[in-house]
Structure formats: structure tokens, C-alpha cells
């Protein structure tokens, strides 16, 4: 470490401690809440194997799972865009935008319920939905199984990994979900800062972190290493989509509520919001400053922010520090 970096550590800690109003020990406790996990947890009924993940990756990128054999899971969950796509609504089988933006698959292994409204209790059930939804991939599993069965390499893969029954709907979904659990956001500058590299993020981003965990109240919902409480909140976004309310009609706070999205790799994931209502980080921060539309279901945590231009810039600098350097996802060779 250079002398300059020895000097930077106490200065950065001093800046952030003063802003947060915390001493070094308290600051460490705050930062500890955002430490990365050491391993991916796989369910007992679907333990990890690299071969199953490899098969799942092939299926994830294979358009033969769709009715017209022109859409794959990756069509809406593109690795180049944080496993989303840069459009307000995902494009489905009819080549028309859907009502909601495809949520990211980053860090899905740590998400207990999937989709914006939480309708799927597992990644296996999440994979089933888009594949068979008429407006999305419009696939039919009897046809998918028949198609894959005609491909010798797929028969060999399934025969080795699932010797009891080979190519079935459940085994296909297990393979896709195994791959999806391996889709983890890489280390970002923020992670290096959390681990003690005092110069990994700028002073502006450090001030933004202090705002995020303090004045703005953002960390009330965006918590933990993936920056989500995995709960549902109505932010007061103008919409006719009742979100979680479809599944909890008697819960007033579930109306117009959507799952808190994680904040990793935001730089690649615009537009933002459950329907892609906000073109960039500046727009969504500006919306939060308004406090959202008042209605009975609006989360009590959603309040207008009073940010100066400097604070707004600091907050956005922090959010950008959660983005890892873009890495190229190697595309699989699909069986013929």
C-alpha cells in the first residue's frame, strides 16, 4: 500500500463517520449488514452440480423452449443488461410489449419469492411461468419434451443427470433453476470498500451511502447485500396494476405493491420500476423526492425526500458504486 493510501483510510472514515453521526465501530456495524455471502445456498431437493448448471444454461439460452422457437429465457434476461432488457416492458411471443419489465435474475438464489408480485415460491416455478405463458414464450411442455427428445445430445445430458426419467418438465425446470442460482453479481467497488479498501469508492459515493442508510431511509427496504427486503411496497407510482394485491385482496397495503428490487449492477439495468417507468437513476431518484402518489395503500416508509443537488449527486454516485465491471457471459453451444 502506498503512503497516500495509508493517509486515505482515516480521512475517508472521518468523512463518513461525521456524516452518519457514528463512530468507527458503529460504522463497521452498518457496513457489515452489506457484506457479500460466502456461498450460494441450493435447496436440498436440487443440490448443485456443475453439470446440471451447464445443462440449465443451455436450456436458458435455447429458443426451442418457446412456441415459435424464436424466444429463449435470455431474450428477456440478457446478461449484457444485468439479466434484464433495456425496454419498459418485456417483448413476448406476439412481438408486443408486456405490461411489466422483466425483473433481473441477478442473485435470484437469495430471493424467496419471484416475479414483481411474488407469485412464484421458487426458481423452478418462476421458470415455468414465462415458458408456458401465451403472451410470453408460449411454449407447451409436451411439445418441448418431444423436441428435446429428438436431439441426441440433450437425450445424453438428461439421461446422465436424471437417469430415472430423463427429459421431463420437472427435470428441465430443475436444470434451469440450478443455472439461475449461479447468476451472481460480481464484486463491485462498494464491496471492496466494505471489505476495507478505503479508496474503492469516491468520497461522493461514501456520502451517498451515508444518505442511503440515514436521511433518505432507502435502507428501510433496500437492505442486506442484495439491497432488498424481499417484501412488497406501494411507492405511489401512478398505475392501474395492483401488483401483490392480486394475491392479497384483503390486505390494504398489498394493493399496488411490488417487490423491492435489488440494486446490484444498476448501471446496466435501466429503465427502472416494475413497468420501466423511469428512464435512468436521475428520474427514479427525482420520483422518490416527490414522495409518490397519495393513496391508502402507499407504504408508510415512502415519504418525500428533500435533497440538495449535491446530495442527489452523492446518492446516485453511491448507487453506481454497486455496479461490477461488465464481464462477458460465454454463450453455450446448443445441441443440434
Q: What dihedral angle (degrees, nearest 10) is formed by the CA atoms of 78, 234, 32, 203?
A: 80
Annotated binding residue 73: yes
Nearest 5 degrees, angle CA 303-CA 99-CA 322?
50
Nearest 5 degrees, angle CA 98-CA 334-CA 92?
10
Q: Is 124 a catalytic residue?
A: no
Contacts of 150 (CB under 8 A, 6+ apart): none
Annotated binding residue 18: no
Backbone phi, psi, residue 10, to 5°: -65, -35
Q: Which of 84, 124, 136, 311 is catalytic?
A: 136
Whether a cis peptide bond, with omega within 30° of 0, leads into 299 is no
How far apart, in Å, are the Cα atoms of 208 and each of 96, 194, 202? 38, 14, 10
Across 281-331, the runs of DSSP E, i.e. the strands, are: none
Annotated binding residue 218: yes
Binding residues: 73, 76-77, 218, 221-222
Binding residues for heme c: 73, 76-77, 218, 221-222
Query: Annotated active-site positions, please?
Result: 136
Amino acid at each position: 500500500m502506498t503512503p497516500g493510501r495509508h493517509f486515505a483510510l482515516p480521512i475517508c472514515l472521518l468523512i463518513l463517520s461525521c456524516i452518519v453521526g457514528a463512530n468507527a465501530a458503529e460504522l463497521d456495524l452498518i457496513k457489515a449488514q452489506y457484506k457479500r455471502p460466502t456461498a450460494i445456498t441450493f435447496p436440498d431437493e436440487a443440490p448443485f452440480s456443475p453439470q446440471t448448471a451447464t445443462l440449465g444454461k443451455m436450456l436458458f439460452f435455447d429458443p426451442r423452449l418457446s412456441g415459435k422457437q424464436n424466444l429463449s429465457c435470455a431474450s428477456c434476461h440478457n446478461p449484457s443488461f444485468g439479466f434484464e432488457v433495456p425496454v419498459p416492458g418485456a417483448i413476448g411471443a406476439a412481438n408486443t410489449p408486456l405490461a411489466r419489465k422483466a425483473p433481473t435474475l441477478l442473485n435470484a438464489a437469495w430471493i424467496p419469492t419471484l416475479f414483481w408480485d411474488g407469485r412464484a415460491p421458487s426458481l423452478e416455478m418462476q421458470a415455468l411461468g414465462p415458458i408456458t405463458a401465451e403472451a410470453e414464450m408460449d411454449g407447451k411442455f409436451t411439445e418441448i419434451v418431444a423436441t428435446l427428445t429428438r436431439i441426441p445430445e440433450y437425450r445424453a445430458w438428461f439421461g446422465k443427470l436424471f437417469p430415472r426419467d430423463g427429459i421431463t418438465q420437472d427435470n428441465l425446470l430443475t436444470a434451469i433453476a440450478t443455472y439461475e442460482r449461479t447468476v451472481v453479481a460480481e464484486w463491485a467497488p462498494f464491496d471492496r470498500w466494505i471489505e476495507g479498501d478505503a479508496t474503492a469508492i469516491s468520497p461522493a459515493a461514501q456520502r451517498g451511502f451515508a444518505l442511503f442508510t440515514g436521511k433518505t431511509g432507502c435502507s428501510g427496504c433496500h437492505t442486506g447485500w442484495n439491497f432488498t427486503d424481499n417484501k412488497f411496497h406501494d411507492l405511489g407510482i401512478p398505475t392501474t396494476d395492483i401488483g401483490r394485491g392480486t394475491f392479497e385482496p384483503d390486505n390494504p397495503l398489498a394493493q399496488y405493491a411490488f417487490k423491492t428490487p435489488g440494486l446490484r449492477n444498476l448501471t446496466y439495468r435501466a429503465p427502472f420500476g416494475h413497468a420501466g417507468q423511469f428512464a435512468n437513476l436521475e428520474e427514479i431518484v427525482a420520483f422518490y423526492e416527490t414522495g409518490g402518489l397519495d393513496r391508502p395503500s402507499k407504504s408508510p416508509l415512502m415519504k418525500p425526500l428533500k435533497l440538495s443537488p449535491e446530495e442527489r449527486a452523492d446518492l446516485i454516485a453511491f448507487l453506481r458504486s454497486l455496479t461490477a465491471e461488465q464481464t462477458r457471459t460465454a454463450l453455450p453451444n446448443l445441441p443440434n
